[in-house]
Structures are given as C-alpha cells and as structure tokens.
Structure 1
Amino acid sequence: MADLKAAFEKAVAESKQLPEKPDNMTLLKIYALYKQATQGDVEGKRPGFTDMVGRAKFDAWAELKGKSGDEAMQDYIDLIEGLK
C-alpha cells in the first residue's frame, strides 16, 4: 500500500513534466483518475450547461464510480508511464 502511494505521488509529479501536452481526452482521464484515487466517487450536482469544462470533468470522474482508490492509483500510474 505504501509502495503504491509513493508510486502514485511520483507519477503525479511526473505528470507535470511530460514531454508533450496530452490531448484533451487524455487530460480528462488523468484528472478523473486523480480525483477518484484521492477523493473517491464523485459527489454533488453536475455543473450546468454553460460550464462545459466543469461538466466534462464531472462526467469523466463519474464514469469511474465504484473504482477503488488503489485501482485508480494504479491506472493513473500506468497512464502516466505510457505518456512518457
């Protein structure tokens, strides 16, 4: 568990230093996996129609509902490794 958390924190740091900026769909996936790993399932109301970015982020996070924090951490690590 401690190893996974350390690897996750390392991947978070590495995500800020990727050689190229990922496309928007990949950025949404990175965001959603991070939120799921650190906060669990999405809560609250979906942002309104005028908040397109907030809505996209909410939807991406909501798709991961039920995924454990450990699973989300591992998926996040794998995704960042694949982008390096």
Structure 2
Amino acid sequence: MDLQSIFTEAVANSKTLAEKPDNETLLKLYSLYKQATEGDNNEEGPANMFDFVAKFKHEAWAKLKGLSKEAAMQQYIDLVNHLKG
C-alpha cells in the first residue's frame, strides 16, 4: 500500500479508538491531519478571539509549518497506531 492509502486507513481508524484521546493528543491529530491534507497554515487565525478551541487548533497547525505533507502523514499514522496499542 502507498502512503496515501495507509494515511486514509489511519484516519478511519482514528474514529474508532477504544478511548477518546486527551485534548493535547486530539490537537496533535488535528494539526497533523491539516498539514497532511492542506500543507502549511497560512490563515490569519480565528475571527473570534474568544473562540479558544479554534485558537488552539490554529496554533497547533501553525507550529507544523514547513513539515512536508508526507512527513505529516507518516507522523499521523504512527500516532494513530500508537493510540490503537
């Protein structure tokens, strides 16, 4: 299987984990997914400065700037496999 297929499978597996990951891990999954599917975060940030969830998501994704889509996919796959145990 190619990396894209394995990534797609990992995305599906992330939705069927036995336990819901903690917020930090969820942010990591989100940011890796966004980096893998969209590349660098070039957005300004959330319009509502009191939307803290959107702010944390934006910041987590922005921290991955420069990481290749392939590397983000691999890190996402590795994290999901780790969470599956």
Q: TM-score when scaled to structure 2?
A: 0.94
**What is the match of residue 75 of structure 2?**
75
- Superposed CA RMSD: 0.9
Task: List per-residue Cα deviations over 1:14-48 (Å, max 9, x = no partner).
Answer: 00000100000000000000000000000221224
**What is the match of residue 64 of structure 1?**
64
What secondary structure sits across from 1:18 in the alignment?
Answer: coil
**What is the match of residue 26 of structure 1?**
25
**What is the match of residue 52 of structure 1?**
52
Question: Identity of aligned pairs, percent?
Answer: 57
CA drift at 1:9: 0.2
Q: TM-score when scaled to structure 1?
A: 0.95
CA drift at 1:49: 2.5
Gaps of 5+ in 2: none
**What is the match of residue 35 of structure 2?**
36
Aligned equivalents of 2:5, 2:60: Cα separation in 1: 25
